[in-house]
Amino acid sequence: MKLATLSTIMLLGLFLSPQAQAQCTNTNLNGVLFYTLAGTIRSGAANVSYQELGKVTADGNGGLSGTTTTSIAGVIATLPVTGNYTIQANCSGTATLTSTANTAQLALQLVNGGGLTLAVVTSSGSTEITDGRFFRAANATGSQCGNGTLLGAYGVLLGGGTFAGTVRTAYENESQLVFDGKGGVTSTGVLVTGTSPGAPLSSTGTYSISSDCSGTLQLTGPGGTFNFLIARVQGGTLLVMENDANTTINGTANPQQFQSVLPQFVFGGGWYTALYFTNGTSNIVSFVVTFTTDAGTPMSVPGIGNSKQVTLAPLGTAIIEAQNVGSLVQGYASVTLPTGVGAYGVFRQSVGGKPDQEAVVGLKSATATANTLIWDDTGFTTSVAIVNPSTVAATVTITVWDVNGNVIGTSTQALQPGTKIENAMRGFLGLAGMAGQRGSALFTVPTGNISVLGLRFGSTAFTSIPTAEQQ
């Protein structure tokens, strides 16, 4: 497939204009939400520690329903939960959550248009002093979660307590979880209990993530085997709650360094690609860029090889160039950037008798499960490069809508681990109806990950198209 009709896009970013005043309604709180609550609750004559990790569906019209797991002083229960909510125009609101064990009233503040909701329990009857957060599930845009959506290192902070009878011992855990994308995990860190000093912590285990982004995690180390409920929410954060008896321990795990991908790296046949890197920190940093063919094998770049180590001085900049030499070679580039390092790619097309044309694209996350773009094929051609950077096979579903939101067509593309395809979008089976129209497109995978770039080609030039990705 010729790159002249290939669109290599990258997310340059979505910039939202600040609004003079927020205007929220019940519709802003919608879809599948995971939530956490933690604090204290009255049990008998004593105040005891309390935690909760639940999953509810908000119907966008004031209704909630789902399930929740609670721990009251280490007594674990999983219960159905229902509720209602009201959101004001200023994005504050109230909600009620009712289970067979408790009814709680909450005060709410919506953040990011409902992507995050801050909550505090206000019901005096429950004698709770509890706060928490509601998050949209990571599959809010229609993609699905799976073991492949957990990959790489996560920083973890857990807190709470353990119980021996009625005696509570404080618990704090700072650690790193490294997920292999296949259901295996390792953990190293520091554990502090009671007044004892921090002790090294090391364990191995397994995890499982369902398509709805909920899951389980089990870790085994010198101290025994420990079980957790986990939930993956928008932005890639993991909510974590231990569900072993006699514990009230919860917290979050946040991605540390994610692999990034330039889904199209091309040279020869009239094409040139450059990668720019800048170190925005005051430390020397070093990282390796690798190059892979469409077939998933190492790609040799003239004068560079199939990988390149980049070392940047504080505030330093570097460039990697693939020159327009020989016949056309296509693949992609992968890199795990240290914190504080920025990067982008440049494509240049040279055609005899015409000025050279260039487009700038950003690097894409290797852990996204959905990508969206806006396209215009009224006199233009929208093309894409799609990479499966994961270690499992992925089936990419492309859904295309017209300007009125009507489905023009869908297409599925199978990608083996580490492979890539590129084509004009309307050249995919089922998408020929794009010709002469404009609209939007969604790329999703039920397992694995995708990185998508696109370019728009006209009669005399080409340019990049901003895309958005979801973890």
Q: What is the pLDDT of residues 104-137, one digit of tens each?
A: 899 999 987 778 888 888 875 556 678 889 998 8
Model pLDDT, residue 141: 62
pLDDT in tens, 249-258: 999 998 876 7
Cβ neighbours of residue 215 under 8 Å, at least 6 residues apart? Answer: 145, 207, 208, 209, 229, 230, 231, 232
Within 10 A of 46 (CB to CB), how many other CB atoms are there? 10
| CB 336 within 8 Å of CB 151 | no
| CB 92 within 8 Å of CB 108 | yes
Q: What is the percent of the chain with per-residue pLDDT over 70, rounded to a whole number?
A: 92
Model pLDDT, residue 127: 63
Model pLDDT, residue 468: 82
Is the per-residue pLDDT at 191 higher than 80?
A: yes
Q: What are phi and psi of 243, to 5 degrees?
A: -115, 25
pLDDT in tens, 135-161: 988 877 666 788 877 877 899 999 888
Model pLDDT, residue 372: 92
| Structure confidence at residue 45 as a pLDDT band (50, 70, 90) | low
Model pLDDT, residue 21: 52
Model pLDDT, residue 101: 78
Q: What's the whole-model pTM score? A: 0.62
- C-alpha 247/C-alpha 249 separation (Å) is 6
Q: What are phi and psi of 54, to 5 degrees?
A: -130, 170
Rounded to the nearest 5 degrees, what angle is found at the Cα of 284, between the Cα atoms of 278 and 290? Answer: 60
Among the listed residues 214, 117, 143, the one whose alpha carbon sits nearest the alpha carbon of residue 469: 143
Model pLDDT, residue 142: 66
pLDDT in tens, 310-355: 999 889 999 999 999 999 999 999 998 877 789 999 999 898 888 8
| CB 56 within 8 Å of CB 64 | yes
Q: Between residues 17 and 432, which one has the greater pLDDT?
A: 432
Model pLDDT, residue 143: 65
| Structure confidence at residue 471 as a pLDDT band (50, 70, 90) | low
| Structure confidence at residue 273 as a pLDDT band (50, 70, 90) | very high
- Mean pLDDT (the chain) is 86
- C-alpha 384/C-alpha 371 separation (Å) is 11
In 256-306, beta strands by DSSP E: 259-267, 271-279, 285-293
Q: Between residues 357 and 13, which one has the greater pLDDT?
A: 357
Among the listed residues 179, 194, 164, 190, the one whose alpha carbon sits nearest the alpha carbon of residue 230: 179
Q: What token pair was written down for 87?
A: 């959101």
Model pLDDT, residue 12: 26
Could you tell me which residues are beta bridge partners of residue 189?
175, 201
Length of the chain: 471
* Full DSSP string of 283-296: S-EEEEEEEEETTS
| CB 340 within 8 Å of CB 285 | yes
Residue 149 three-state SS: helix
Q: What token pair was written down for 226?
A: 């420990």
pLDDT in tens, 226-251: 999 999 988 778 999 999 999 989 99
Residue 147 three-state SS: helix
- C-alpha 54/C-alpha 41 separation (Å) is 17
Full strand arrangement of the beta sheet holding 381-387? 420-424, 381-387, 451-457, 462-464
Residues 376-383 have a mean pLDDT of 93
Among the listed residues 187, 224, 181, the one whose alpha carbon sits nearest the alpha carbon of residue 205: 187
Full strand arrangement of the beta sheet holding 370-376? 407-415, 394-402, 438-444, 370-376, 467-470
How is residue 448 annotated by DSSP? S
- Sign of the torsion angle spanned by Cα atoms 29, 35, 36, 41: positive
Residue 112 three-state SS: helix
| Structure confidence at residue 180 as a pLDDT band (50, 70, 90) | confident
| Structure confidence at residue 403 as a pLDDT band (50, 70, 90) | very high
| Structure confidence at residue 404 as a pLDDT band (50, 70, 90) | very high
Residue 419 burial (CB < 10 Å; 0-12/13-18/19+)?
buried
Model pLDDT, residue 124: 57
Of the given ranges (7-21, 158-172, 309-323, 358-372), which has the lowest mean pLDDT? 7-21
- C-alpha 143/C-alpha 370 separation (Å) is 6
| Structure confidence at residue 11 as a pLDDT band (50, 70, 90) | very low
